[in-house]
Structure 1
Amino acid sequence: MLTIVRGKLKILNIALPLSSAYLLISHGSRDPRPHQAMARLAERVRSQLEKRGWGQGAINYRCSLNSPISQPLAPDQELLPSNRAGYFQANRVLQRAQAKPATPTVVSRKCHYPLVGTATLELADTALHEQIRQFASTAVAGGCNQIQLLPLFLLPGVHVREDIPAEVALAQRDLGEAVALNLRPHVGAHPGLGRLLASQWSGVDMDGKILLSHGSRRVGGNQPVEAVAQELESVAAYWSVPPTLEEQIQVLVARGHKRIGILPYFLFSGGITDAIAQKLDILQTEFPTVKLTLGKPIGTSDILANLIVDLIEP
């Protein structure tokens, strides 16, 4: 799905610089919770961008999506993006949109900047490159000439290395020179992610720690997880490949640990984190003398939003 979150308009009497819109790309899920979390995260990213002074100098524009010529709008008008109803959740005006106009619709409100959107690689109504193209059309209509795309993935697997770059290339081919698409590093590449994860342990009574990731079958694909686990003074376990959660619990129990904390190395709650919780209930009965405590996924926070802003800085 594709959603848009907008910030407040700021008009400066200066020449308009290179102006970026921002698109956060996640995997996609049939569970509504990750999509809802993405919308909240996009709003936090927009807020952090505003706090850093980005998006200033943006002005209202009226332009045809098929025309490179843009004209300023009156200050009391807002640009309503052209797209499917329901794709946009920024405000009530967008939620009420029903038509699919060939050009942006002007309504009586102000345009908001910076422009932050979300898209999914899988399980969407349209392919990612088409979601990017639609978002780019909205961004160009709003006066942006660059889009910073950030993969919200923790590991540099096939999706990050191959699938997303291929979709971005298709979108750039369709868009031509109207807007530049800049693919930024995936969120798991930020060196500050370990500190964010460390804060997740705060207040947990434990003498052993397990960092639980989905895991990758690609050779070397789990090395980033091992590095983060070492930084957190924990051991790594994986949901889909060995060593499993049960195996690592056995290792820690053999070392004499009695209070073990498990931190899911996942961005948001969803089907897998539900399954982990159910599995842990079973494991607790298998290890009755050990206290097993399950932490929360990373979730939405200003800390994560700031890491994202670091990575999407043009």
Structure 2
Amino acid sequence: MKSSSNINITSILKLRSTYLLVSHGSRDPRPQLGLENLSQLLSQKLPDSFSAVATATLELGPAPLHEQISNFGEHTLSLGLTELQILPVFLLPGVHVADDIPTEVEIAQKTFGSKLKIEVRPHLGTQAAGLTNLLKTQMQAVAFLPNLLSPKWILLSHGSRRPGGNSTVEEIASQLSAETAYWSVKPSLSEQIDNLVRGGQQQIGIVPYFLFNGGITDAIAKNVDQLQQQFPTAELHLANPLGASVELADLIHNLIQK
């Protein structure tokens, strides 16, 4: 767990809660760096530029998530605050959001009893409209060669096997006039590109529905290079993942209870 704070008494009195951004966790350091940058951006939106904001991971962290929450809970109480809000930085409502995080929070809550209220806020993926706008920005940064045909886009997500777990992806893809593809379930990226090429599409953009660069986005880039060789008549372009930004911090700030 890492925190960012510039403590002063006036700011503490204006705060109701501390905030813990929870991500999946990765052996690759880049997602954690992106999460920490995001926590810094979020902290700037709280009273007097003060915040009690920290990051934690569900997996591959320094301790089980409930211990990370408990440690930050002790920090929360030391600030004279009695509320801790968990902000799940997840794009899909899969098992981690629905089951794993609430279970870890329940374990941590038992440590504090009535001294500290720990509340889980909606996950980041519920901010579909804002995420759609951010993805449009990533798409606009891609430069295609002049062509009479407009490019076709594929929104590539990790994907969820949970019933209804991909509904947000489908909703966003519809707003972007894009096809959907998934890294872990069907339809795959290669299947969707094949369908588009067979339909005469010459320019295809792929926008990753992922937060930060990491091992999976590296694998996606390698896969796109391979697919470019497989489909030489098509022009394939890969956009960047969302990345830490003021706009993404705004969406997380929307999750905070007013």
TM-score between the two structures when normalised by the length of structure 1 = 0.76
Contact 1:119 1:131 in 2 (8 A): yes
> Aligned runs of 1:41-56 on 2, under 5 Å?
41-49=38-46, 54=47
After the TM superposition, list the runs of 4 or more consecutive aligned residues in structure 1 that deviate by more than 6 angstroms: none
CA distance in 2 between counterparts of 1:213 and 1:43 reads: 26
Contact 2:44 2:50 in 1 (8 A): no
Aligned to 2:182: 238
Q: In structure 1, the residue corresponding to 2:172 is in which secondary structure? A: helix
Contact 1:212 1:263 in 2 (8 A): yes
Aligned to 1:40: 37
* 1:11-37 deviation per Cα after TM superposition (whole angstroms, max 9, x unaligned): 27xx94662111000000011111111
Aligned to 2:147: none
Tell me, yes or no, if structure 1 residue 198 matches structure 2 residue 130: no
Tell me, yes or no, if structure 1 residue 189 matches structure 2 residue 122: no
Aligned to 1:313: 257
Corresponding residue pairs, total: 251
Unaligned runs of 5+ in 1: 57-111
- In proportion to residue count, which structure has more helix? 2
Amino acid at match of 2:151: D
Aligned to 1:285: 229
Contact 1:149 1:312 in 2 (8 A): no
Q: In structure 2, the residue corresponding to 1:236 is in which secondary structure? A: strand
Aligned to 1:227: 171
Contact 2:132 2:176 in 1 (8 A): yes
Contact 2:87 2:123 in 1 (8 A): yes
Tell me, yes or no, if structure 1 residue 159 matches structure 2 residue 96: yes
CA distance in 1 between counterparts of 2:186 and 2:79 reads: 48
Change (3 A) 1:10 1:297: farther
Comparing 141-150 with 196-205, which one deviates more in the overlay?
Answer: 196-205
CA distance in 2 between counterparts of 1:139 and 1:245 reads: 44
Identity of aligned residues (%): 49
Among candidates 130, 134, 146, match of residue 71 of structure 2 = 134
Q: In structure 1, the residue corresponding to 2:8 is in which secondary structure? A: coil
Q: In structure 2, the residue corresponding to 1:11 is in which secondary structure? A: helix
Q: In structure 2, the residue corresponding to 1:177 is in which secondary structure? A: helix
Aligned to 1:19: 16
Amino acid at match of 1:276: I
Tell me, yes or no, if structure 1 residue 123 matches structure 2 residue 60: yes
CA distance in 2 between counterparts of 1:225 and 1:197 reads: 12
